[in-house]
Amino acid sequence: MGRLVLVGAPLGNPGDASTRMREALETADVVAAEDTRRLVRLARDLGITVPGRIVSYFEGNEERRTPELVETLRDGALVALVTDGGMPSVSDPGYRLVRAALDAGLPVTAAPGPSAVTTALALSGLPTDRFCFEGFLPRTGSARRARLAALAAEERTLVFFEAPHRLAAMLADLAGAFGPDRPAAVCRELTKTYEEVVRRPLGGLAEWATDGEPKGEITLVVAGATATPASRPPDDELRDEVAAAERAGSSRRDAITAVAERHGVRRREVYAIVHASGQ
């Protein structure tokens, strides 16, 4: 049985190539590359030879080539999938082939490598404990603004990809939907010679982007919305909830703890309310 290997490629600096990436390219029977010319150039930079058959696998031929690659896997071949940079399937070709291979009962593994998503997130200086990746937003202004309106209350840090010629319009829409003071960072040409990270509020970034069209590959990181504190219920409601929990079989200690956590109130505050009533 063959095997599909998802190969994480350097974002720009060949020095980020892993040993496992080199091995995957050197031992694969077939290498499916988003851009075959870039693959040849990367192999030359790494000083390795790719002896297997090299085929193109990009957005324009994914649908047609996926069944061919699945049949190649069925025949026992080792197939390596590599994109222009980062991990396959993350806003790059790959998902369709992974799904087809799994549906056919064929093994899929990875030689993991760099990712523009996590690299930009780490460099942004914004919270990294919880985040969501939105990839490329709709290209048209109305559809993009509708999507941003739906994301305005998202509390997790947001990561987007965007083309240089649309960045100014996207930042203007972001400032309109999220407010001009929302912290953000534009990460450009990560790991490459002209790497740049611009950290400003969205309003400032929107102005910065109008000074001249930024060049290169861009990842945008935006802080999540600030959570709105829930309103605190009146004392009698907190007291009644504790009493109801006790009637249901909870101890007073557990009932107070549960009510406090449910409403974001300090436990000792609920305790004081209950005991002040003489219950």
Contact predicate 26/103, CB 8 Å: no
Both tokens assigned to 167: 């960045």
Report how far residue 175's alpha carbon sits from residue 234's, in angstroms, rounded to the nearest whole number: 37
Q: What is the pLDDT of residue 230?
A: 65
In degrees and rounded to multiples of 5, residue 176 shows phi and psi of -70, -40
The conformation of residue 128, written as its DSSP 8-state character, comes to -
- Mean pLDDT, range 5-27, rounded to an integer: 96
Same domain, 43 and 87: yes
Name residue 132's beta-bridge partners. Answer: 158
Same domain, 12 and 107: yes
Both tokens assigned to 149: 């309106």
229: in domain: no
Same domain, 165 and 265: no
Nearest to 6 by CA among 16, 28, 119, 117: 28
The conformation of residue 222, written as its DSSP 8-state character, comes to E
CA 46 to chain centroid? 28
Q: What is the pLDDT of residue 13?
A: 95
Residue that terminates a domain, selected from 114, 145, 163:
114
- Given a cut of 90, whether residue 17 has pLDDT beyond it is yes
Same domain, 136 and 61: no
Contact predicate 21/104, CB 8 Å: no
Same domain, 17 and 109: yes
Same domain, 102 and 131: no
Q: What is the pLDDT of residue 213?
A: 82
- Given a cut of 70, whether residue 279 has pLDDT beyond it is no
Instruction: Give the residue with greater pLDDT, 275 vs 111.
Output: 111
| pTM attached to this predicted model | 0.79
At 106, is the secondary structure helix, strand, or coil? coil
Report how far residue 24's alpha carbon sits from residue 29's, in angstroms, rounded to the nearest whole number: 10
Same domain, 123 and 108: no
Report how far residue 131's alpha carbon sits from residue 157's, in angstroms, rounded to the nearest whole number: 4
- Given a cut of 90, whether residue 62 has pLDDT beyond it is yes
The helix or strand, by DSSP H or E, that contains position 273, with its residue range, turns out to be helix 267-276
Q: Which domain holds residue 81?
A: 3-114
In degrees and rounded to multiples of 5, residue 116 shows phi and psi of -65, -30
- Given a cut of 70, whether residue 228 has pLDDT beyond it is no
- Mean pLDDT, range 142-161, rounded to an integer: 94
Average pLDDT, the chain: 93
Instruction: Give the residue with greater pLDDT, 81 vs 227.
Output: 81
107: in domain: yes
- Residue carrying structure tokens 């969205």: 202
Same domain, 161 and 243: no
158: domain CATH number is 3.30.950.10
In degrees and rounded to multiples of 5, residue 25 shows phi and psi of -70, -30
Same domain, 9 and 107: yes
43: domain CATH number is 3.40.1010.10
Count of domains observed in the chain: 3
- Given a cut of 80, whether residue 229 has pLDDT beyond it is no
pLDDT digits (tens, 9 = 90+) for 96-111: 999 999 999 999 999 9
